[in-house]
Structure 1
Amino acid sequence: MIKVLFFAQLADQAEKDFQMLEFSTGMTPRSLVEHLAKTLPKQLIDELQSGATMLSVNQVFAAWDQPLSEGDEVAFLPPFSGG
């Protein structure tokens, strides 16, 4: 299984903070979003695919094409800034 976490407005749009998904060989964050598109609102999927959303795998910022492994935790984070 892969645990998918949503934060801030992404969680609001998903109407949940996390979702568990079956792992499949060759899965990447990009293909994970394609899988999520089957059950989540189009507006959320569009935001995830916009390029502005950051993602982490096991609490480390990651690339969209990074291979995932069984048991990984993938988090989607909306754009943010410091000050």
Structure 2
Amino acid sequence: MNLTILYFARLRDELGLGEEQLEFTPAIRTLGALRDQLCERGPQWRNSLRADGIFAAVNQGIADWDTPLQGGEEVAFFPPVTGG
């Protein structure tokens, strides 16, 4: 089973990727574990996904880093929204 991962706004630009499919494994039990695995891809990934204010959603609902994953979810990472 796969996870669909979406990257929005500056994350998409910094990582050069808007969407990917990642095979779900038992090691990815939480949203935080998924972020940790993605950060292992290198410094740009760590800097982007661990920047202050980065949010995530699971199946279009805001989630915290302890949110459990079971496979099949859509996970989105995005920076804080600003503007006026």
For normalisation by structure 2, the TM-score amounts to 0.83
Contact kept, 8 Å, 1:29 with 1:68, in 2: the verdict is: yes
Give the match for residue 33 of structure 2. 31
Contact kept, 8 Å, 2:3 with 2:23, in 1: the verdict is: yes
1:13 CA drift (Å): 1.2
CA RMSD of aligned residues (A): 1.7
Contact kept, 8 Å, 1:11 with 1:17, in 2: the verdict is: yes
Give the match for residue 18 of structure 1. 19
Contact kept, 8 Å, 1:2 with 1:20, in 2: the verdict is: yes
1:38 CA drift (Å): 3.2
1:75 and 2:62 are equivalent in the alignment = no
1:47 and 2:51 are equivalent in the alignment = no
The runs of 4+ residues in structure 1 deviating greater than 6 Å are none
- State the percentage of identical aligned residues: 37
